[in-house]
Amino acid sequence: MKTFALAAAAALLLTLGTGGTALAQNTPVGLWTVNFFVDDTPSMFNSATQQICFLPDGSWYFPTFGGVLGRWFQKGANPAGNGDRVRVLGSSLAGSLEEHADLDFINLQLMTGPWTEWRPDLSFKNWTQATFNRIAPSCPPAPNVQPKAPEGATATSSKSGKG
């Protein structure tokens, strides 16, 4: 009986210690601050800070850096029915920059992972490690444009079934 009481108390403390977030759904939908750290330098200096908005329809955009947008989807499996990883694909509207990232949830407020960007002619390549900190569950108004997926890529959203 004493063992059961200790186990129940430990489970309660664990739930309270996580702020009840253990049952919440991990989804990137919402507004995030992104810090990019240059991966191919010894100091890994912070090269940029932007905001990114992930929309429920599987699209994303930078409210702080116009003209770059794309698609995202979740992969992996967990009890909530959504993935623990987020794949990001995108490009600039002018077609002069391509984007790719594979992100992992650390917790509901933090994602991290490699973010790579390049020009199609490979005259520019940038490898970074990115940290995403959630700001809000909703986003500022999105630009009225359709994302262009990188050439040869196919992206689908596990949230809406759109591709």
Please state the three-class secondary structure of 33-99 as a single string: EEEEEECCCCCCCEEEEEEEEECCCCEEECCCCCCEEEEEEEECCCCCCCCCEEEEEEEECCCCCEE
Mapped onto helix, strand or coil, the DSSP state of residue 132 is strand
Fold of 27-136: Lipocalin (2.40.128)
pTM for the whole thing?
A: 0.70
On average, the pLDDT of the chain sits at 77
Nearest to 104 by CA among 126, 125, 74, 135: 74
pLDDT tens for residues 100-121?
999 999 999 999 999 999 999 9
